[in-house]
Chains A and B, each alone.
Chain A
Amino acid sequence: MKFPSFIRKRKDILIRVVAFLMNRPGLFSLLTPYRWWLRYRAPHPDIHSFSYQATLEYLQKLYGRSRPVMWSSLYFPAEFIHAAGGIPFYPEIASGMVAALGLAPFALERAGSEWFSPDMCSYHRIATGLSLAKLFPRPDILFASSNICSGTVPFFQTMASIWKAPLFLVDVPPSFTLESARYVREQLVEISAKTKEITGQPLQWAEPLRHSHRAHRLMEDLVRLRRENDTLFTPPGKNIDYLPYYYQFIGTQISVHFLEKLVEHAKKANAVPPEKIKAVWLHLKPFFPNSLTEMLENADIAVCAEEFTLPYWEAWNGEEVLGWAAKKMMASSVFLEADQRIAAIIRLLRETRAHAAMQFTQWGCRQSQGMNELLRRALREEGYPLLTLDGDHLDHSHYSEEQLRTRIDAFAETVKNTMT
């Protein structure tokens, strides 16, 4: 849509004012009374209020810059950042939250105006747009690993150049061998030393490891509870909306408290009715307001597990810490390498006694798109139908409600035909 120039000018001014305010750390202390009031009103918050309060506190710390802000790609361990005394910021997760607030069009337009191609993944385009507009928090350090997708490293390099901040890249080989684990660990040793130079303090691992260990246990409990009790969360997995607790807050009490509440919730949640189709949800889902949940409900599909909320790594068991962190980074290959991912998905389908798998494939995502056919064939051999929906998790302009509904309804009908 093209706005008249005076409105466009005003919009620009408004954005500049917001950016100015976002870059005034002192202003964020004004949130404290509101947070106190929230805590006073709900001393034992339910999971949603807890999440709201935790997010508010996080934003206050992040934009208030109470500690160094450290950006990170998804599979760089958050425990490292907490040990370094930083506030983690995962731009890809934040882009999801921005889309959920309906602000993606502005960010995408901003990135597009500086020739960032619409062929790029929208997770990266949104983060680029908001960095150009200086609405994301300025990083003091950026960390990224090479093993997510071919877009991640250049994206983080672009961010480092926009923000003029140091970037530490970890090259993560796809398969686990003692040699490759040593290679990753050596890089982490070097990065720890450089991080210490910047922050002026050594990494303090005790607390983050303790919390990470506890969170891991709780995530395992959740998987077990959902499997044993056939527990149903709101499709397509309210879990996925709570992504920060599985990534950036891991290694803090926030994640632990959140997961404790989720375990309690899972103990009480309803079982999946037998007439419903139990599906495992792969990759992520659209974050902007949409009717996916309603469509799944109408089609009698219940999501019984999500790929992105699984405890994919092994909990710390007292071993040398950077060796463990290296192993955790390498464990993410279970989402990223075709053979490992497909085997893990089949295991998950069997363990959860699911009928089918569904994936909302991200537009321009070479990582998940690329292996779709391999996945489809492997699942078919195992007797599991797979529905891949094509769209964009963040960019609403690639979303067609009717196309989605037809595919979901037809999928449910065909799965039911094979069930009976």
Chain B
Amino acid sequence: MDGLTAGVDIGSRTTAAVLALGGKLVGSALVETGTQPQDVGKKALQKALYDFGEKAPRKMVTTGYGRFQFSSSDTVSEITCQARGSSHLFPKAAMVVDIGGQDSKVILVRKGKAIDFAMNDKCAAGTGRFLEMMAQALGVSLHEFIALAGRGKEGVRLSSTCAVFAESELISLVAAGKKPEDIARAVAGAVARRVMGLIRRVGLQRPLVLTGGVARNAAIVDALSAELGFTPLVPTEPQLTCALGAALIAAQG
């Protein structure tokens, strides 16, 4: 098809492919990245194309940490793609907060373009990986952990923002007889505070869009809303915004 473009976002945990036509998202696929980023981009793209009933896009842009492994297309950083995709969905967006599997980013956006950003340093705190580690320490799956956090009450606080120290703090909270759901809620609060640190680094702006896999986690959205003092805008498919941005950039040039 003539104007069909694709964006592929090869992230550390998931890979998203989005097809865009006439500025609209017309197809998508989401797969686990696994250990073969060079193959997974192709796999996600083929799945999206198959579902849409097309063989190849006219143009494609790849983004995400594995973008250079997928050699057959132009590459753009995830910061630019995220800014583009989020402002397409929320044209007035001034800030995008993306909490991914391995890193979190805060992007300052003007007219759909990234003009400043901050990313977490090497530390896993404030990322999806942190949540996974904490769920493991509590002996539950990530899914159960999210459900637990939703039921938890305020009152327990995790003071550590370092993933390693937080784990031992969590174990001592368990030993002190605190309820798992309250601990899970405290973990969500710790992630939100860490992300707030990044937001302050760039300077809070509204409207603020929350993207990335973690944006589907209601406990985190609640905790972040409490820190922000307002509820962020969350796209229906927060894991696809970056790939959408890539597909839209592909359509431009």
Contacts and interface: CB of A to CB of B under 8 A. Distances in A.
Interface of A: 373, 376, 385, 390, 398, 400, 402-403, 405-407, 409-411, 413-414, 417-418
Contacts of B103: 403
Contacts of B9: none
A376 B201 contact: yes
Contacts of A411: 117
B201 A373 contact: yes
B77 A417 contact: no
22 contacts: A373-B201, A390-B121, A402-B66, A403-B65, A403-B103, A405-B68, A406-B65, A406-B79, A409-B76, A409-B77, A410-B78, A410-B117, A413-B77, A413-B79, A413-B80, A413-B114, A414-B79, A414-B80, A414-B114, A414-B116, A417-B114, A417-B115
A414 B117 contact: yes
Nearest to B64: A406
Nearest to A389: B121
B119 A407 contact: yes
Contacts of A407: 119
Contacts of A400: 122
B115 A410 contact: no
B80 A385 contact: no
A406 B78 contact: yes
A308 B78 CA distance: 32
A391 B17 CA distance: 31
Contacts of A402: 65-66
Interface in B93-150: 103, 110, 113-117, 119, 121-122
Nearest to B121: A390
Contacts of B66: 402
Interface string B34-76: 0000000000000000000000000000000110100000011
Given A410-B114, A414-B116, 14 more contacts: A376-B201, A385-B116, A390-B121, A398-B122, A402-B65, A402-B66, A405-B68, A406-B65, A406-B119, A407-B119, A409-B76, A410-B78, A414-B79, A414-B115
A410 B79 contact: yes
A2 B52 CA distance: 50
A390 B122 CA distance: 7
B49 to A, nearest CB: 26
Nearest to B108: A414
A376 B198 CA distance: 13
A34 B122 CA distance: 46
Interface in B77-91: 77-80
Nearest to A405: B68
B110 to A, nearest CB: 8
Nearest to A420: B113
A413 B122 contact: no
A376 B201 CA distance: 9
A413 B83 CA distance: 11
B76 A413 contact: yes
A319 to B, nearest CB: 45
Contacts of A376: 201
Q: Which of B75, B116, B117 has the most CB of A within 10 A?
A: B116
Contacts of B75: 409
Contacts of A373: 201
